[in-house]
Amino acid sequence: MSSGCYIRYHFRSREIPLVNAGELLHHMYSVLFSGVTRIRWTCLRQVCLTHCNMSTSSGTSTNGHGRSTAGVIVIGDEILKGQVKDTNSHFILKHLHSFGVRVPKVSVIPDSVTLIADEVRLFAEKFDFVITSGGIGPTHDDMTFEGVAAAFGDKTQMRPEIQKFVSEYFKTDDTSQPCFKLAQVPSTAQLVYAEDKTRGVRSRFPVVRMRNVYVLPGVPNLLEKAFLLLAKEYFVNPDSQFCCDEVYLWLDEVSAATALNQTVAECPSVTFGSYPVLYHSYYKTRITLEATDMAAVQAARARLTEALPSGTLVNYTPDPVTGAARRLEGMTQREEHVKEAVDIVNQCYDKYSPEEVCVCFNGGKDCTAVLHLAHTIQTGRHPGSRLRAVYIRESKPFPAMETFVEETRVRYDLDLYIIGGPMKAGLHAMKEHWPEVKACIMGTRQGDPYAELMRPFQPTDSDWPQLMRVNPILAWDYHQLWLFVRALTLSYCSLYDKGYTSLGSVDNTLPNPALQETIGDGTVTYRPAYELEDVTRERDGRIGRRRRGS
């Protein structure tokens, strides 16, 4: 779908004169999958993934190698032109690998019925199953359904059950409208509905399956939802027992090479991978271990640990969301200030529903901590709910901060509202957007400007939007804040690793001079924020230091 295509629609009984086609389809698919529980699948550390009792009708079969094969076809002119970054193939490949499925080939092709048909036909013959991404929608360049039909000598036709949904959703029976192109699918295709069997709920719009070809949307979060909900039944290799583990090192790859090479030679049944990272907040090298026997993986890990220099292993958790409640509970038992913060957030949710609560999130270290607290507690108390957050943007935000905010939105599946500052006007806009919000969880700490008289629960002043400000980390000091973030290996804005300790706008924030050092060749560098010793100098990098720090 071309990102520059606009369509006129009557939507939900009101006319939208110019709607970006990509945005419209994204919204529609979001509604279509809205009845299905969000699922998070991760590469499980030290867990043996055994798949059995798979129905042969799923289209997954073995090919003599003990693992099924798949081909992935990414469709879209915008990918080939570099206008849109392809993240779908990475997501699909990562999960298929963990399912014991071998992917010999990924192809990226343009929006062309002929090219789509040729590639789909070739892949369908060579691989056990095929997944396509992109080219589904109401515009002229959405050709995947036509191409898949042509691959098997079929034609597209209006499918009544999809037509009925499209008609109801777009409030029109005029089948000449572009939206009805969504109902034009291969005539012999199977319509597969994503289903949450634990709740007995299925999606309202199907994934189209033509023989062993599965046609998925190109919008990343929609593809991910559809893929994960279909994965167990259609994509997992039933004959594979696949075991994996990961080791993270605060050691560069060259320094780790001797120990790794020695372990590889001693553990021939285990496949190792070594992946250096130039700039990461927690590690420099990631080593993967894979085998069909969990005991072999565990033995190889133990041997590698023994061969490495002492103190080089990092206890890193790549996914801060899965298992967050268990890790947070562990911290509350060790750290009294964390327990007090958890109690404050729980009191907030005792009084307010999820729809009445939002987190004030600007990407800073303090609100990163409270966002994690709020998300862990809300999703534990209200499974399936989405945490609301408001990002009140600075006039000249750092690009790195903007990137981190978007990454955090995806990581936590936030319902994020973005509005320009200043704070007072931003909160007014947020209240107009979400009039039901009554409480705002904030990252204020006692040492912050104007926080001397603040309490854990503090109503806004009379001339501000009426909200209850909830301050769970009010009593935390700078070191306690960083202990929490790094003990849980939470992702944070990369600027903190470059000497920034308090973040505002590009025009009022510099690296903290207290962290400056000069290396051998005279180059000036800065140590990371968490190494600041004198906490009274937290805002030494701010121009106009009475401004609120982050």
Residue ranges of domains in the chain, CATH in brackets: 68-235 (3.40.980.10), 243-314 (3.30.70.2920), 324-480 (3.40.50.620), 507-549 (no CATH)
Q: For residue range 265-274, list pLDDT tens digits in order.
A: 999 999 999 9
pLDDT in tens, 295-346: 999 999 999 999 999 999 999 999 989 999 999 999 999 999 999 999 999 9
Q: Is the peptide bond before 422 cis (omega within 30 degrees of 0)?
A: yes
Q: Is the separation of the CB atoms in 436 and 356 below 8 Å?
A: yes
Burial (Cβ within 10 Å: 0-12, 13-18, ≥19) of residue 102: middle
Rounded to whole angstroms, the Cα distance separating 290 from 302 reads 14
Extract the tokens encoding 94: 């990562």
**Rounded distance between C-alpha atoms, residue 381 and residue 540, angstroms:** 40
- Encoding tokens for residue 426? 């931003």
**298 in Cβ contact with 46 (< 8 Å):** yes
Residue in the block written with tokens 């609120």: 548
**What residues in the chain have per-residue pLDDT under 70?**
1-67, 196-201, 241, 544-550
Global pTM reads 0.71
pLDDT of the residue at 167: 93
**pLDDT (0 to 100) of residue 44:** 33
The per-residue pLDDT for 495 is 97
